[in-house]
Amino acid sequence: MNVLWYMCAPDGHYPWKPEGSRTLDYGYYRQLAQAYDHLGYTGALFATGAHDVWVLAAALMPFTERMKFLCAVHPGVIAPTLLAKMAATMQEFSKGRTLLNIVSGDAKMMGAYGLTMSHDERYEMADEYLTIYNRIMAGESVTQKGKYFPTVGAKLALPVSDTITPPPLWFGGSSDKAIDVAAKHVDTYLSWGETPEQMDAKIRQVKARAAHYGRELNYGVRLYVIVRRTDEEAWAAAADMYDQMDAASIAGNQKFVGGTDSVGQRRMSAMHGGVKPDDLRDLEVAPNIWAGIGLVRPGPGSAIVGSPETVIRTLEAYQKVGIDTFILSGMPLLEEAYRFGELVLPKLDVTRDEAPKKKHFTWNTLFDRDLDAKVS
């Protein structure tokens, strides 16, 4: 399987509250990247946040050796020709470690970038956008009138088809329009943290649509994880977070996600209904899957909670319905990356690039080298 961790603000023990948040600066991001690389994660999701993902990923690239960079891209914010150039450059400089996560967002997010389109029109635009992008990355020269992107003589100077593999495309979206775009264009279909049963139904739907276009996709899910040495300790950690979910934080987040035209967000919100019950286990929507985080955080709001054995058993339940990619995170990112990386990751068959072999020195070789230097 592929196991990626998260790389985005906000962070902290309780990042929905100012006093529970942690400052994320370049030095902290370097710590995160080096930790993910050292622990052996497949890579990291550079999601939309306070910092620009391309600048951040490029700035962290020299401090890593094998982790992949899954960078969020909003169709229409930049031209498909420029995206192809950026992606090819990143792929060349990272030695093949670049991945692209295509995010159509919702009306509120995209409106801030000047894209005031309806839900369905955003996906029609994304369809045209990805068609152009894929043709350019295949080495074609593209000229077309197009509804959204009239293009004349778009072509890459870099020999992508010969020496640089085009970065694989990842994509998330739960509406019929989104699924159609994914089925036509991308390599990996992603979904926010729905239950294995819900993912089974969704994957069947996407597979059928992909088959219509003669294609096969990979599948992934974005989840939080709260792992401790025992189930009891893990649920105690979840309870500690739950205690910090005050009414103001819940109301603020529910106002933020309310009225969205994102089908995925509505499915996440339906898991808890914006209401905090007295018993946190009332939000256990499937065995060991807890929807409480969605009360205070937009986007994926569910977590796997339990011991390493429980977490692995739950990951295997997702695997059985066709999931091969997991984008995980915990709070805080650094400490929980180490916790998961030490308790769970070594027990998984994780896909990752091989780290460059380093020469190891013994005390004897170091002593001999020093002695030779003195003799000479």
| Digit-coded pLDDT (tens) for 263-272 | 777 777 777 7
Residue listed under structure tokens 């992107």: 149
pLDDT tens, residue by residue, 88-97: 999 999 999 9
CA gap 170, 88 in Å, rounded: 16
The percentage of residues in the chain with a pLDDT greater than 70, rounded to a whole number, is: 93
**Residue 321 in 3-state DSSP?**
coil
DSSP E strand stretches across the chain: 2-6, 43-46, 68-73, 98-102, 142-144, 151-154, 169-172, 188-192, 218-227, 284-286, 289-290, 303-306, 325-329
Residues 6+ apart with CB under 8 A from 348: 1, 3, 312, 315
pLDDT tens, residue by residue, 32-54: 999 999 999 999 999 988 899 99
Q: Is the pLDDT of residue 362 over 50?
A: no
Phi, psi dihedrals of residue 73, rounded to the nearest 5°: -135, 130
* Architecture of the domain whose range is 2-221+325-347: Alpha-Beta Barrel (3.20)
Give the count of alpha carbons within 13 A of 181, CB side only: 29
Say which residue, 111 or 307, is predicted with more confidence.
307
**What is the structure's pLDDT at 354?**
64
Give me the mean pLDDT over the 184-193 stretch. Answer: 93
CA gap 185, 166 in Å, rounded: 13
CA gap 127, 187 in Å, rounded: 14
DSSP E strand stretches across 104-217: 142-144, 151-154, 169-172, 188-192
Residue listed under structure tokens 């007295």: 278
Give the count of alpha carbons within 13 A of 193, CB side only: 31
**Running DSSP on this structure, what letter comes out for residue 139?**
T
Q: Where are the domains of the chain?
A: 2-221+325-347
Q: Record the pTM.
A: 0.89
Q: Residue 267 corresponds to which tokens in the numbers above?
A: 């499915």
C-beta of residue 14 within 8 angstroms of C-beta of residue 240: no
**What is the structure's pLDDT at 161?**
61
CA gap 120, 45 in Å, rounded: 26
Supply angle C-alpha 188, 194, 195, rounded to 5: 115
**Residue 338 in 3-state DSSP?**
helix
**What is the structure's pLDDT at 23?**
93
Q: Cα dist. 47→52, 355, 359 in Å? A: 9, 25, 35
Give the count of alpha carbons within 13 A of 374, CB side only: 6
Beta bridge partners of 137: none
